[in-house]
Amino acid sequence: MRYKLKNHAVIEISKLIAADIIDHAYQSHSKMDGERLISLTNSRQVNSFIIRSLFNQWRNEVERLESPYFDFNHERVKEALKSFMNVLSNHISIDKEHLEPLLTQAIEDAILISFEPKDYLESILNRIERPQDFKLQFKYIKTNRELFKSLTDRIGDFDTKSSILQAYETIENGETEVVDVPEFLDKLNAANRISDLFDSIEEVVEVPIVEEPAPQPQPIEEELPSEKVADGPVTINDQFDQPTKGMTLAEKLQRKVNKSIESSLTLNEKFMFQNNLFDGDNSKMKEAFTSIDQAIDLQDALNRANQYNTDWDMDSEEVEAFMSVLERRFA
């Protein structure tokens, strides 16, 4: 079964999906903190776009800071503002009214980047003041990441909306991800919205008619003695009877599940996490990995990891890489 996105329905269906998620999320809480926010849905792309909206809001507010008395462009001031933002990111508190529009936009963008990536690109370019600033969006992209990595690598300081779209056209073919529609909606608890958001297209497979050749007389072969047969070429039956050496899918999955976080990391990854997330303390990092390995699912793993969060820069490449490790381990 193939699906075609109903572009005209994206905005409305995004609102409905967001409303359902918000109603469920705020049943027992009046505010949403950062820990619950980064796992609000089972879609990593949607969650990432929510964080993007918060940081874009912060960036816009900082850029408006001007004063005839204070130099907000001084390096030490910028450094202090960044530190302040890191502290603030660990004390997020959003009510239902203010989170719902952010979630709606995140869902809308996640739908477009998954099924109509060019429309996503145009939507972002229409929203930002400087087209070149699209490069700042890349860190929040999880779907079609290679496609947009190729694009951002080509964007220069003087590119326009038109030139960026032209660059996109040259790299789109062959680099677009195939996203499973039912799985995408299931992560948003919106499987019942599939017919509202997509047209289904039945795939017709044409079976070619093959004419059987006329039977040919078979030559009579002498039956070899049994001891000669053993020395002859291996037959299909002989090959079929051999024990299979490769792992089954279940065995591969089991190996993936049982593999500890530490054993799955390269030396460089261990070094990066130890120095940037665990204050250079190897024993502290090992303790964190041991705890996280005992998690029952991704949500539990995130909760355990957050216990070791000592003012991490949630916008850093190190945190991004660590989140990827957890997703590989528990997805």
**What are the tens digits of pLDDT across the range 84-132?**
877 877 788 899 999 999 999 999 999 999 999 999 999 999 999 899 9
Q: What is the DSSP letter of 224?
A: P
Domain ranges (residues) in the chain: 2-196, 250-330
**Residue 39 pLDDT > 90, yes or no?**
no
Mean pLDDT of 252-264: 60
Paired tokens of 148: 């947009």
In the structure, how many helices (H) and strands (E) does the chain have? 18, 4
Gap between the Cα atoms of 115 and 177, Å rounded: 9
CA trace torsion 111, 114, 115, 117 (10° rounding): 100
pTM of the model: 0.63
Check if the beta carbon of residue 32 is closer than 8 Å to that of residue 94: yes
DSSP codes joined into one string, 232-252: SPPPHHHHHHSPP-SPPHHHH
- Write the pLDDT tens digit of every residue in 153-193: 999 988 999 999 999 998 887 678 999 999 999 999 999 99
Q: Bridge-partner residues for 3, per DSSP?
A: 200
